[in-house]
Amino acid sequence: MSKIREKIHIGIDVSKHHLDAACGQKKKRFEFTKEGLKHLLEWCQSNASDMELHFIFEPSGAYEIPLAEFLSKHDILWSRPNALRVRQFAKASGVLAKTDRLDAEILAAYGEKFTPEAQQLEASAIRELRELMKRRQQITKLMTQEKVVLESVQDGFCKAEIKNSIRRFERDIARIDERISKHLSKEKQLEQAVEKLQQVKGVGLQSALVLTAFLPELGHVNRREIASLGGLAPVTRESGMWKGKRKLGPGRVQVRRVLYMAALSACRFNPQMKELYHRMKADGKPSKVALCAVARRLLTALNTLMKTTFPQPLKN
């Protein structure tokens, strides 16, 4: 029998130009370059003896992606825990200060304490779709702002400028939509997933694209986990005799937003969701509570649908 190797958790604070590492009692800063990544791995291996390496780092606005790709390429375990949980762990440990070096130490301690599961990098096709959808959402938001401003502007020149801006945004969105269409035609599994999601009444093209891009776990986790990721899992608030209102826990904002809009549509055109909504309203539930229940039921149905259609996640 092969001997089970002891695991060591290495905290990495990721910034644009540097990586601060904490391996055991030793700390060191590395340049965030290809050579720097090689030096980081060599340094960790030399300090960890024959132990198995497990890197822990926070999401850093996609700066961490090259690090995750490098570690995956070398079959090194890594995890990307929720930044808020790590910060709460630091405060609970009595660490109120925040520096790059301290963050690396806290991440290493978090790994030792909670031993998070190793993660895998999402397929590049999903990441590309997510980038396109993010850009589309940014431009849509800017265009909406311009339309609001246009209603209150009186000067003719300013009106013309705002209208030109809106037309430019419309062209940009059209180009992005064309790019998304080409991307889906190239990535057949993504295209099939988007088409499958639209088969559920209430889910349109944009909702299906957002769910595919921002919720790749759809179909690969259970109903409670998918509700939590979608921000639709209610959190109980009770203490002694006091019972507060349950609130939805944190989740992915983009996903919860499109599910809420999909629920509005489903309440009109999906018989099952319509029946659920009116039953909850008849029981005295507020409209928003009933809509959130519909959104959660809709997400659960989509999760089951994707589980039976695509049992394996998309790979690079």
State the pLDDT confidence band at 312, using cuts at 50, 70 and 90: low
What is the pLDDT at residue 311? 64
Considering only CA atoms, which of 173, 297, 153, 169 is closest in space to residue 233? Answer: 297
Average pLDDT over residues 88-96: 94
What is the pLDDT at residue 249? 74
Q: Are strands 77-79 and 52-56 parallel, antiparallel or unpaired?
A: parallel
Q: How far apart are CA 136 and CA 90, in angstroms?
A: 36
Q: How far apart are CA 4 and CA 290, in angstroms?
A: 50
Estimate to the nearest angstrom the gap between the alpha carbon of 274 and the chain centroid.
29
Between the two ends of the chain, the Cα-to-Cα distance in Å is 33
State the pLDDT confidence band at 104, using cuts at 50, 70 and 90: very high
State the pLDDT confidence band at 315, using cuts at 50, 70 and 90: low
Quote the tokens at residue 28.
Answer: 């060191």
State the pLDDT confidence band at 316, using cuts at 50, 70 and 90: low
Considering only CA atoms, which of 25, 1, 27 is closest in space to residue 12? Answer: 27
Task: State yes or no: pLDDT of 264 exceeds 70.
Answer: yes
Average pLDDT over residues 186-194: 92
Question: Radius of gyration over alpha carbons of the chain, in Å?
Answer: 23
CB 20 within 8 A of CB 103: yes
How many other CB atoms are there within 10 angstroms of residue 244's CB atom?
10
Task: State yes or no: pLDDT of 113 exceeds 70.
Answer: yes
What is the pLDDT at residue 121? 85
What is the average pLDDT score of the chain? 91
What is the pLDDT at residue 1? 42
Quote the tokens at residue 79.
Answer: 């995890």
Average pLDDT over residues 158-174: 96
* Residue 46, SS3 per DSSP: helix
What is the pLDDT at residue 301? 93
Quote the tokens at residue 74.
Answer: 């070398």
What are the percentages of helix, strand and coil residues in the chain, rounded to 5?
60, 10, 30
What is the pLDDT at residue 2? 47
* Residue 22, SS3 per DSSP: strand
What is the pLDDT at residue 245? 77
Q: What is the pLDDT of residues 35-88, one digit of tens each?
A: 999 999 999 999 887 889 999 999 988 899 999 999 999 999 999 999 999 999
Average pLDDT over residues 157-186: 96
Query: What would the CATH number be for the domain defined by 7-114?
Result: 3.30.420.40
Task: State yes or no: pLDDT of 269 exceeds 70.
Answer: yes
Q: How far apart are CA 37 and CA 34, in angstroms?
A: 5
Considering only CA atoms, which of 270, 259, 266, 269 is closest in space to residue 292? Answer: 259
Domain positions in the chain: 7-114, 124-186, 210-309
Considering only CA atoms, which of 143, 136, 206, 214 is closest in space to residue 175? Answer: 136
What is the pLDDT at residue 60? 87
* Residue 276, SS3 per DSSP: helix
Quote the tokens at residue 4.
Answer: 């089970």
Q: Please give the single-letter amino acid code of residue 111.
A: G
